[in-house]
Structure 1
């Protein structure tokens, strides 16, 4: 486990701010084992005073068999993965952004790669289905999410105690028009499983750009390390402030990345540089 890039926040959030936490994992093919790891990390985050916790993309399973996620897909509103998320949120009294889980799609052989949000009472309050599907090929390295995933079509933002929150997933990061469509948000959450190749080249610069141009916090919980399948994900789970400053980062391995979301910081950045009010094209 690598330390955060900057010092962790104090045990208590500053007055008026909200503790947020991003979970990093290195998930494998064993769903039960992955859920056990996640449960421990959510408990750790809650113990620090985090009020909103976010999990990475594919936290329940990463396998060399792309059909593994199809076999564990659930109908919207019921299933062990959804029950686990609701229980963790209620048990620890946190808002939980459930990374992504596979939900039933219209096509029989595909899934929706879905982010579900549960409030601190364990009630489902939001759902976002990943819109942009990753495709990449360089030599022997090849990915084609469209082979097993059905794309979503709707932008999602919701209200939480930390403010207005917009949802996105991994490859969505490369499409700034999605984030503009969220309108003004205080926090963007982007669960991811970026490849090592693309992450090393573009991950941080794109995350910081999304924070700067939308003048909001960005939290990106990621998969980070070498998985049992042999796949290597970039990790570098980050929380970034509205000025583009990286507040905290964990490079690889399971862990919890913490920062305090300060509404006064958002207001200050937007007042000193009112770029959002200067937009001419919508």
Structure 2
């Protein structure tokens, strides 16, 4: 069990990785200066770019990516665990991945995660998104066993798929992470209840660093970065959409305590789903 300070960095990334890198570095340094030894940044830290041609110009391979290189450098210099919530990476096959990175205090890469669930939705007022048209989905959930905590990975729209978080909690994750660029429309409706639910139902801390405000490409994100304890209590919140840093103390013993009080991870049972219209039964699973 460990006790440490964690920080969630809120950003308003634009189209240019070079300019976003300056904000990234300044905010990470601010978080470390406040005593955080785990620092998380939001989804698309490197750039938020809607246009296809502009994406091609802005993004590159992992070994050449500015944010990846800077993340390694800052983690080593500041002696922190630095979780780049995600940045767009050109894969070996030429497709894009929405990829998160975790760097250790020596600058070494501890884990990476490609966003599994693509944000393909049609919202009210004509707001429509097709993330799958630009990005290739990941296929593997990740739990990193670090000196601070066992950390489970997710990115933004993954939040709406509780089975991902349950699988990571069953694998031992004490801290679940949800860096995001939630739209303002969906954030107003669902951001707080979904994040608190993931914490409560898994007996885990949840840290969600967010993009916030009106971006250069025209989209508007919700902000309101959160740190939540395993009982569903909000420990820290950026109650706005401006760039900034929030910080809270994490004691992983609280995850063990919550799971002992309400052992739903252990109590889950297999079950079937019966259709009462003469169509037989469907196989279901508690996990």
* TM-score w.r.t. length of structure 2: 0.88
Is 1:145 the counterpart of 2:131 in the alignment? yes
Residue among 255, 258, 262 paired with 1:269? 258
Cα-to-partner distance string for 1:194-227 (whole Å, 9 max, x where unaligned):
0011111111100001000110000000001111
- The 8 Å contact of residues 242 and 269 in structure 1, kept in 2 or not, is answered as yes
Q: CA–CA distance in 2 between the matches of 1:83 and 1:100?
A: 13
Q: CA–CA distance in 1 between the matches of 2:2 and 2:82?
A: 20
Is 1:82 the counterpart of 2:82 in the alignment? no
Greater Rg by CA: 2
Cα deviation, residue 104, structure 1: 2.1
The runs of 5 or more residues in structure 1 that have no matched partner are: 1-14
- The 8 Å contact of residues 67 and 148 in structure 1, kept in 2 or not, is answered as no
Matching residue of 1:253: 242
User: What secondary structure, in the 3-state scheme, does the structure 2 residue paired with 1:49 have?
Assistant: coil
User: What secondary structure, in the 3-state scheme, does the structure 2 residue paired with 1:161 have?
Assistant: coil
Q: CA–CA distance in 2 between the matches of 1:25 and 1:187?
A: 21
Q: CA–CA distance in 1 between the matches of 2:211 and 2:159?
A: 15
Q: CA–CA distance in 1 between the matches of 2:76 and 2:116?
A: 29
Residue among 178, 184, 193 paired with 1:196? 184
Residue among 51, 61, 66 paired with 1:65? 51
The runs of 5 or more residues in structure 2 that have no matched partner are: 270-285
Aligned CA distance change for structure 1 residues 154 and 80 (closer, same or farther; 3 Å) = same
User: What secondary structure, in the 3-state scheme, does the structure 2 residue paired with 1:247 have?
Assistant: strand
User: What secondary structure, in the 3-state scheme, does the structure 2 residue paired with 1:99 have?
Assistant: strand
- The 8 Å contact of residues 105 and 150 in structure 1, kept in 2 or not, is answered as no
- The 8 Å contact of residues 89 and 95 in structure 1, kept in 2 or not, is answered as yes
Q: Answer with 73-82 or 33-42: which moved more.
A: 73-82
Query: How many residues matched?
Result: 267
Cα deviation, residue 107, structure 1: 5.2
Q: Aligned Cα RMSD in Å?
A: 1.6
